[in-house]
Amino acid sequence: MAYFLAIDTTTTPFSVSIGDESIIYAEEIRYNYAELAGHITLMIQKCCNFSGISLNDLSGILIARGPGSYTGLRIGYSVAKGLCMSLGIKLIEVDSFQALAQEAARQFGTPISIYCAALDARRNEVYMSIINHFGKVLYPVSPCLLPILLSDLVGQIKPDAVYCLGDAADKINQQLGPYNYFTTDIEITSSLLFNQLGIGIEHSSFEEIAAAEPYYLKPPNITVSKKKPFDPNIK
Single-letter amino acid code for the residue at 41: T
pLDDT of residue 161: 79
pTM of the entire predicted model: 0.83
Q: Are 7 and 123 part of one and the same domain?
A: no
pLDDT digits (tens, 9 = 90+) for 124-143: 788 888 898 888 888 888 87
pLDDT over threshold 60, residue 202: no
- Residue 101 domain flag: no
Distances in Å between the Cα of 174 and the Cα atoms of 151, 168, 179, 228 are 10, 11, 10, 45
Q: Which amino acid, 196?
A: Q
Q: What is the pLDDT of residues 56-100, one digit of tens each?
A: 999 999 999 988 888 899 999 999 999 999 999 999 999 889 888
Among positive and negative, which fits the CA dihedral 76, 79, 82, 83?
negative
Rounded to the nearest 5 degrees, what angle is found at the Cα of 166, between the Cα atoms of 163 and 15? Answer: 135
In a domain, 224, yes or no: no
Does one domain contain both 20 and 135?
Answer: no
**Do 131 and 174 share a domain, yes or no?**
yes
151: domain CATH number?
A: 3.30.420.200
Four-residue CA torsion sign, 18, 20, 21, 25 = negative
For the chain, the domain total comes to 2
Report the mean per-residue pLDDT for the chain.
Answer: 82
In a domain, 82, yes or no: yes
Do 84 and 8 share a structural domain? yes
Task: List CB contacts of 122: < 8 A, sequence separation 6 or more.
Answer: none
| Consecutive H or E run containing 116 | strand 114-122
- pLDDT computed for residue 150 by the predictor: 67
Neighbouring CB atoms inside 10 A of 87's CB total 16
Q: Domain holding 31: CATH number? A: 3.30.420.40
Looking at the domain assignment, is residue 221 inside a domain? no
Q: Same domain, yes or no, for 91 and 166?
A: no
Confirm whether 235 is domain-assigned.
no
Residue 184 has pLDDT above 90, yes or no: no
Q: What is the pLDDT of residue 125?
A: 82
pLDDT at 235: 53
Q: What is the pLDDT of residue 189?
A: 87
* Full residue range of the structural domain in which residue 62 is found: 3-95+188-211
What's the pLDDT band for 177 if we cut at 50, 70, 90? low
Q: Is 80 among the domain residues?
A: yes
Same domain, 147 and 164: yes
Same domain, 136 and 198: no
Name, in order, each residue with C-beta under 8 angstroms of 53's C-beta and a sequence gap of 6 or more: 3, 18, 25, 26
Considering the domain boundaries, does residue 30 fall inside one?
yes
pLDDT, tens digit, 9 for 90 and up, residues 5-29: 999 998 888 999 999 988 999 999 9
177 and 197 in a common domain: no
Pair 199, 132 in one domain: no
Residue 85 lies in a domain: yes
Identify whether residues 80 and 124 lie together within a single domain.
no
Is 207's pLDDT higher than 60?
no
Q: CB of 31 within 8 A of CB of 20?
A: no
Q: How far apart are CA 30 and CA 48, in angstroms?
A: 17
- What value does the mean pLDDT take over residues 162-187? 75
Q: How far is Cα 20 from Cα 2, in angstroms, rounded to an integer?
A: 6
The reply to whether 178 and 196 lie within a common domain is no
Q: What percent of the chain has pLDDT over 90?
A: 29
Between residues 60 and 123, which one has the greater pLDDT? 60
CA distance readout (Å), 124 to 56, 127, 143, 145: 45, 11, 10, 6
